[in-house]
Amino acid sequence: MDWKENMTKEDYEKAIQGAEDRVRTQLYSEKIKPLETELEGLKPSQKSEKELELEKKEKELLAKENQFKVRDTLEKHNLPKDLGKYINISDELDIEDVGKELGEIINNFVLDSSYKPEKKVNKGDAISKEDFKKMNYTQRLELYDSNPDLYKKLSN
């Protein structure tokens, strides 16, 4: 656009926009476009067999290392370390948290499912003095054989 002394605001903005577009186009075509084509040429199109094999070995090594960390964490929290093969954790920070939580869960489970005696009832004390007085000789003899302390207690 040619320079005019009395431009409208619209014409002025169009002129600025046109100049900016020319600078951008020139920059892209002269500098950015050749760099992008050069970069495309530097990127490998496919990975070689050695690279693929290396990546596979690296993943296996990381998995083994992670498994050992899990086992150590389980052992630290007094849990069987054989559980480590069933636990798959990817983050290092999570291993400690999972170890603590798993320890709490298993210990609570073991405590909850362990033997809990019911209310203790002493069947021998269920015999009162009156019941003892009503017993015949053979019943008293059986009581003496089965629970001599109770027999002595009731006979006095």
Q: What are the tens digits of pLDDT across the range 91-106? A: 655 777 777 787 888 8
Number of compact structural domains in the chain: 3
Is 118 part of any domain?
Answer: no
Q: How confident is the model at residue 49 (pLDDT cuts 50, 70, 90)?
A: confident
Is 27 part of any domain?
Answer: yes
58 & 107 share domain: yes
Interacting residues of 124 by C-beta distance below 8 A, sequence separation 6+: 146, 147, 150
Is 35 part of any domain?
Answer: yes
Is 49 part of any domain?
Answer: no
Is 1 part of any domain?
Answer: no
DSSP state letter for 32: I
pLDDT at 156: 80
Number of H helices and number of E strands within the chain?
Answer: 7, 0
93 & 142 share domain: no
83 & 134 share domain: no
Which has more pLDDT, 113 or 16? 16
Which has more pLDDT, 22 or 119? 22
Give the integer Cα–Cα distance in Å for 63 and 60.
5
Q: What integer best gives the mean pLDDT of the chain? A: 81
109 & 68 share domain: yes
Which structural domain range is residue 83 located in? 54-113
